[in-house]
Amino acid sequence: MNRSQHIESKIRELIDHMSIDEKVGQLTLITSAEGQIPDSLREDIIAGRIGGILNETQREVIHELQRIATEESRLGIPLLVGRDVIHGFKTIFPIPLGQAATWNPTLIEQAARISAQEAASTGINWTFAPMMDIARDPRWGRIAESLGEDPYLTGVLAAAMIRGFQGTDLSAPDSIAACAKHFAGYGASESGRDYNTTNIPENELRNVYLPPFKAAVNAGVASVMTSFSDIDGVPATANEKLLRHILRDEWQYDGLVVSDWDAIYQLIEHGLCANSKEAAYEAANAGVDMEMFSQTYREHLPEWVAEGKLSMAQIDALVANVLRMKFRLGLFDQPYTRAEDFPPVANASFRQAAYQTALESIVLLKNENHVLPLSKTELPTLAVMGPLADDGYEQLGTWIFDGDTALSQTPLQALRAAMNGENSLRYARVMETTRQNTREGFAGAIQLAKQSEKILLFLGEESILSGEAHCRADIRLPGNQEELIHELAKLGKPLIVVIMAGRPLALQNVIDKIDALLMAWHPGTMAGTAIADLLLGNAAPSGKLPVTFPRVTGQIPIYYNQKNTGRPATPETYIHIDEIERGAPQVSLGNTSYHFDVHYTPLFPFGFGLSYTQFEYRHLQVNPSEIKLGESITIRANIRNTGEREAAEIVQLYVRDLVGNVTRPVKELKGFQKIRLQPGEQTTVTFNLSTDELAFYNRNMVRVTEPGDFHVWIGSSSATGLRGEFAIIP
Q: Quick one: how many helices (H) and strands (E) in the chain? A: 19, 26
Better pLDDT: 581 or 544: 544
* pLDDT higher than 70, residue 587: no
Across the range 698-713, mean pLDDT stands at: 98
- pLDDT above 90 covers a percentage of the chain that reads 95
Mean pLDDT of the chain: 97
As a whole number of angstroms, the distance between CA 334 and CA 355 comes to 34
Quick: pLDDT tens for 45-67.
999 999 999 999 999 999 999 99
Question: 649 by DSSP, 3-state: which?
Answer: strand
As a whole number of angstroms, the distance between CA 362 and CA 373 comes to 14
CA torsion, points 363, 368, 371, 373, in degrees to nearest 10?
30
Strand partners, 683: 639
* pLDDT higher than 90, residue 718: yes
Examine the residue annotation and report whether 260 is marked as an active-site residue of this protein.
Answer: yes
| H/E run at residue 633 | strand 632-641
Across the range 322-343, mean pLDDT stands at: 97
Across the range 584-612, mean pLDDT stands at: 89
Q: What confidence tier does 420 reach under pLDDT thresholds 50, 70, 90?
A: confident
Across the range 193-197, mean pLDDT stands at: 96
pLDDT at residue 498, as a whole number: 99
| H/E run at residue 43 | helix 39-46
As a whole number of angstroms, the distance between CA 432 and CA 440 comes to 9
Q: How distant, in Å, are the alpha carbons of 567, 575, 586, 596 from that of 591?
A: 7, 10, 8, 11
* pLDDT higher than 90, residue 680: yes
Alpha helices by DSSP H, listed for 137-235, are: 151-166, 202-204, 211-218
Phi and psi dihedrals of 611, rounded to 5? -135, 180
Give every CB contact of residue 201 below 8 A, 6+ residues apart in sequence. none
As a whole number of angstroms, the distance between CA 85 and CA 304 comes to 35
As a whole number of angstroms, the distance between CA 543 and CA 536 comes to 17
- pLDDT above 70 covers a percentage of the chain that reads 99
* pLDDT higher than 90, residue 199: yes
Across the range 200-226, mean pLDDT stands at: 98
Question: How large is the C-alpha radius of gyration of the chain?
Answer: 27
pLDDT at residue 586, as a whole number: 58
Domains of the chain: 348-535 (3.40.50.1700), 615-729 (2.60.40.10)
Across the range 580-584, mean pLDDT stands at: 70
pTM of the prediction? Answer: 0.98
Contact, 486 vs 526, CB < 8 A? no
Bond preceding residue 568 cis, omega within 30 of 0: no
* pLDDT higher than 90, residue 111: yes
As a whole number of angstroms, the distance between CA 120 and CA 56 comes to 12
Contact, 462 vs 429, CB < 8 A? no
As a whole number of angstroms, the distance between CA 163 and CA 353 comes to 17
pLDDT at residue 578, as a whole number: 86
pLDDT at residue 421, as a whole number: 67
Across the range 336-346, mean pLDDT stands at: 96
pLDDT at residue 435, as a whole number: 98
Question: 86 by DSSP, 3-state: which?
Answer: coil
pLDDT at residue 313, as a whole number: 98
What is the DSSP secondary-structure string of 197-217? -B---HHHIIIIISHHHHHHH
Alpha helices by DSSP H, listed for 289-426, are: 296-306, 312-328, 348-361, 411-418
* pLDDT higher than 80, residue 186: yes
pLDDT at residue 423, as a whole number: 64
* pLDDT higher than 70, residue 335: yes
| Residue 587 identity (one-letter amino acid) | V
As a whole number of angstroms, the distance between CA 401 and CA 84 comes to 8
Across the range 401-428, mean pLDDT stands at: 90
As a whole number of angstroms, the distance between CA 653 and CA 650 comes to 10
Q: Which of 260, 289, 402, 657 is catalytic?
A: 260
pLDDT at residue 136, as a whole number: 98
pLDDT at residue 583, as a whole number: 64
Question: 218 by DSSP, 3-state: which?
Answer: helix
* pLDDT higher than 70, residue 713: yes
Cα atoms found within 13 Å of the Cα of residue 370, Cβ hemisphere only: 8
pLDDT at residue 422, as a whole number: 65
Strand partners, 131: 181
* pLDDT higher than 80, residue 311: yes
Biggest CA-to-CA distance, the chain = 85
Compute the residue count for the chain. 730
- In the sheet that 256-258 helps form, which strands lie side by side, from edge to edge? 179-183, 223-226, 256-258
Q: What confidence tier does 237 reach under pLDDT thresholds 50, 70, 90?
A: very high
Q: What confidence tier does 579 reach under pLDDT thresholds 50, 70, 90?
A: confident
Strand partners, 604: 549
Across the range 642-656, mean pLDDT stands at: 98
As a whole number of angstroms, the distance between CA 600 and CA 473 comes to 20
Quick: pLDDT tens for 488-520.
999 999 999 999 999 999 999 999 999 999 999
Quick: pLDDT tens for 362-398.
999 999 999 999 998 888 899 999 999 999 999 999 9
* pLDDT higher than 90, residue 132: yes
Question: 81 by DSSP, 3-state: which?
Answer: strand
